[in-house]
Amino acid sequence: MRGEASVLHLDLDAFFAAVEQRDKPSLRGKPVVVGGVGGRGVVSTASYEARVYGVRSAMSTREARARCPHAAFLSGRFHAYRDTSERVMRLLRDVSPLVEPLSLDEAFVDLARSDLDDLSVPSVTAFAERLRERVVEATGGLTASVGVGTSKFIAKVASDLDKPDGLVVVAPGTEQDLLRPMPVRVIPGVGPATAERLRRVGVHTVADLEQISEEEMVRLLGKASGHWLYSLARARDDRPVVAEREAKSVSVEGTYDTDLTDRRLMESLLTRQAGEVSGRLRKHGLSGRTVTIKVRLHDFTTLNRSTTLGSPTDSPATIARLARSLLADLDTSGGVRLLGVGVSGLADWVQEDLFGETAEEEVEELPEVEVPHHSRRTWAPGMDVVHTEMGRGWVWGSGRGVVTVRFETAETPAGPVRSYAMDDPELSPWRPPESTDETGSPPPA
């Protein structure tokens, strides 16, 4: 814990949904849900307009549709999220050389290494306000919530206090007053299972936790976790902001002699790979927030699809479930010759839960799989398209041989809607010219 509030944590608001609203003017101010749109799809995030109806990250899309049927359900455009993330990270690195990204939309910044010569509360407050304005400019309208404090823990807690579009600076010396009334879940590493252990001994809030001696805490939770919780309950956190993590990702992949077409088999392979990735993460005491699958199609097109969790995981069941749901959104009917699973956004400190019931999770059964229809093109809701006459737009919906497109971009007003035959040669998917994340890897020599 530092003497001055010099650790800043920034987190973009409703990140994926905000990018969609920026690029789709007709959706601004409306409920938007981004995630898997298929039968087993899971919500990645929802705009604040959709959250009013109780839609949340990690909820099944089916549940989200029931709660907010009039929302726009979009399958997500990773290239746009990555591009926007890069703009924000570049801006942060412009402010301080010590920037630690935690995920695409979230980072710590060490203000002690910025050119602020005074780290008083009024100075860092003005600085953080200006930074928030610069994020809006750099991203074309996305807002960020920022917290500043004497440690990573406090900065991260603070950024969440006035979301969305908020700023909270926790003055040095006021940390414990802030934490005491909060539930123990506010401490990184305290998930449902740890919270339950603590609840059984009457501990609900950080103030309750403070009453427990270090010895008792160790007896209750084991050595490492006991010491960790004892310190954090007192806002004692000396973790430095680290610009580069050594291992950026852990991944496993396999190539196959014959093109795979059986979805069930692909899911089993991904599940096995997820188990191997989890084993390697656990061996090194790591966990990660972003799960990626890599799929090389029969024509050597390589697809990468990712999803980011709210907190890091090392669970084989979670990694496998996310990997399978990412696969569910891809058209692999032409055959697959390489499959891989990776976890990135690695952290050595926050776990989903210190006491996750992993043994039980591992025997999770494979879900039922549907055999995909043969289709030459998939028109996922929300994807970017271009029409030879109408120009750029996005897929509003498709079915029964028809695809409906709304023609608008971030730079236009809300645009008109038109429908076309799914195989209309004048309509094609649109990709940003410099994008490399969705196609790319050349065939092996």
Query: Which residues are at the interface with ligand DCP (CB under 6 A)?
Result: 11-16, 44-45, 57-58, 105-106, 163-164, 307-310
Region of 401 on the Ramachandran plot (φ > 0 left; ψ -120 to 50 alpha; else beta): left
Q: Do 336 and 302 touch, CB atoms closer than 8 A?
A: no
Angle between helical axes of 15-23 and 78-95 (0-180°, round to 10): 110
- Considering the complex, what minimum distance in angstroms separates the CB of residue 15 from Mg ion? 5
Which residue lies nearer to ligand DCP by CB, 97 or 140?
Answer: 140
Which of these segments, 9-17, 130-138, 152-160, 301-309, binds Mg ion (CB under 5 A)? 9-17
State whether residue 89 is helix, strand or coil.
helix
Task: State yes or no: residue 11 binds Mg ion (CB under 5 A).
Answer: yes
- Residue of 4, 20, 49, 106 marked catalytic: 106
Which residue lies nearer to Mg ion by CB, 12 or 380?
Answer: 12
Active site residue 246: no
Q: Do 381 and 396 touch, CB atoms closer than 8 A?
A: yes
Q: Do 312 and 351 touch, CB atoms closer than 8 A?
A: yes
421 binds, among Mg ion, ligand DCP, none (CB under 5 to 8 A by kind): none
Fill in the DSSP letter of residue 370: P
16 binds, among ligand DCP, Mg ion, none (CB under 5 to 8 A by kind): ligand DCP
175 binds, among ligand DCP, Mg ion, none (CB under 5 to 8 A by kind): none
For residue 431, count CB atoms less than 10 angstroms from its CB and return exposed for 0-12, middle for 13-18, buried for 19 or more: middle
- Considering the complex, what minimum distance in angstroms separates the CB of residue 40 from Mg ion? 24
Residue type, 176: Q
* Residue 11 labeled ligand binder: yes
> How far from chain centre, in Å, is Cα 150?
25
- Considering the complex, what minimum distance in angstroms separates the CB of residue 309 from ligand DCP? 5
Distance CA 262, CA 272 (A): 16
**Which residue's entry shows tokens 């600076």?**
169
- Considering the complex, what minimum distance in angstroms separates the CB of residue 11 from Mg ion? 4
Q: Do 319 and 357 touch, CB atoms closer than 8 A?
A: no
Instruction: Give strand ranges (E) for 232-283.
Output: 249-260
- Considering the complex, what minimum distance in angstroms separates the CB of residue 444 from ligand DCP? 31
Task: State yes or no: residue 4 binds Mg ion (CB under 5 A).
Answer: no
- Of the candidates 149, 166, 157, which has an alpha carbon nearest to the alpha carbon of residue 206? 157
Distance CA 1, CA 7 (A): 10
* Residue 208 labeled ligand binder: no
Which residue lies nearer to ligand DCP by CB, 56 or 234?
Answer: 56
394 binds, among ligand DCP, Mg ion, none (CB under 5 to 8 A by kind): none
Which residue lies nearer to Mg ion by CB, 188 or 340?
Answer: 188
Task: State yes or no: residue 15 binds Mg ion (CB under 5 A).
Answer: yes
57 binds, among ligand DCP, Mg ion, none (CB under 5 to 8 A by kind): ligand DCP
Site for Mg ion in 89-118 (CB under 5 A): 105
Which residue lies nearer to ligand DCP by CB, 148 or 297?
Answer: 148
Q: Do 334 and 373 touch, CB atoms closer than 8 A?
A: no
Fill in the DSSP letter of residue 183: B
Q: Which residues contact Mg ion (rule: CB under 5 A)?
A: 11-12, 15, 105
Active site residues: 106
The binding site for Mg(2+) consists of 11, 105
